[in-house]
A and B are shown apart, each in its own frame.
Chain A
Amino acid sequence: MTEVVNITPTTRHEGHAKLILEVDGEGIVSKAYYINTTPVRGFETMLVGRPAEFAPIAVMRICGICQTTHGIASCSAIEDAIGCEVPEDGLLLRELVGLGNRMHSHPLHHLLTLEDFIKPEEETLKIDTIKLIQRMRKVGQLIVDTVGGEGIHPPNIVIGGMRTNISERAKAKLYYALKQYEKDAYMMYEIYVELVERYLEEVGIPDLGSHDYPYIASHTTYGDRYAINWDGVVEIPPHRYYKDIKIAESTSVMIPLYEGVPAEGGPRARLVKFGNFRSGGSVMDINIARAKENLGAVYRAMEILDELDINGKTRTTPEYRDGFGIGVHEAPRATNTHFAEVGKDGRIKSYKIIAASTWNFPVVEKAIEGYPHQYAEVIMRAYDI
Chain B
Amino acid sequence: MEDKRITVAHVQLSSCCGCLISLTDTYEKLLDVLNSVDLVYCQTLMDVREIPKADIILVEGAVCLDDHHAMEIAKEVREKGKIVVALGACAAVGGITRFSKGGQMSKPVQSSFSSLTEVVKCDLAIPGCPPSPELIVNVITAVIEGNTEYLKPFVRYGERKYEACGCDLIINAINKSLCMGCGVCAASCPTRAIEMVEGRPLVSSQLCIKCGVCSFQCPRIEV
Contacts and interface: CB of A to CB of B under 8 A. Distances in A.
A41 B102 CA distance: 7
B22 interface: yes
Given A45-B101, A45-B104, A16 B19 contact: no
B222 interface: no
B69 interface: yes
B202 to A, nearest CB: 15
A188 to B, nearest CB: 15
A39 interface: yes
A74 to B, nearest CB: 13
Interface string A39-72: 1111111100011011001100111110100000
B130 to A, nearest CB: 6
B49 A163 contact: no
B217 interface: no
B107 A40 contact: yes
A42 B18 contact: no
A40 B104 contact: yes
B76 interface: no
B209 A39 contact: no
B21 A64 contact: yes
Contacts of A12: 43-47
Contacts of A63: 16-18
A372 B17 CA distance: 31
A252 B106 contact: yes
A61 B207 contact: no
Chain B CB within 10 Å, residue with most, of A46, A108, A251: A46
A254 B105 CA distance: 7
A134 interface: yes
Interface in A232-247: 237-239
Contacts of A163: 192
Contact of B110 (A16, A39, A155, A254): A39
A11 B43 contact: yes
Interface stretch (A144-152, A177-185, A337-345): A144-152
Nearest to B19: A64
Contacts, number: 150
Interface in B5-32: 12, 14-22, 24-25, 27-28, 30-31
B18 A67 contact: yes
Interface stretch (A135-143, A256-264, A271-279, A319-327): A135-143
Interface residues of B, number: 51
Contact of A108 (B24, B96, B110): B24
Contacts of A141: 25
Nearest to B28: A134
A9 B70 CA distance: 13
Contacts of B70: 39
A61 B129 contact: yes
B103 interface: yes
A237 B27 contact: no
A34 to B, nearest CB: 14
Chain B CB within 10 Å, residue with most, of A8, A13, A40, A127: A40
B67 interface: yes
A64 B130 contact: yes
Interface string B80-114: 00000000000000011101111111110011010
Contact of A54 (B12, B21, B30, B206): B206
Given A51-B206, A61-B96, A252 B107 contact: yes
A131 B46 contact: no
Given A13-B44, A14-B17, A127 B206 contact: no
A326 B53 CA distance: 47
Contacts of A44: 104
A152 B44 CA distance: 17
B191 interface: yes
A150 B190 contact: yes
A41 B206 contact: no
Given A9-B43, A12-B46, A40-B106, A138 B27 contact: yes
B207 A57 contact: yes
A153 B90 CA distance: 14
Given A53-B207, A61-B209, A134-B30, A251 B129 contact: no
Contacts of A156: 192
A54 B192 CA distance: 11
20 contacts: A9-B43, A11-B43, A11-B48, A12-B44, A12-B46, A38-B14, A39-B66, A41-B110, A42-B110, A42-B111, A46-B100, A46-B101, A50-B99, A51-B206, A58-B96, A64-B16, A67-B18, A138-B25, A150-B190, A152-B25
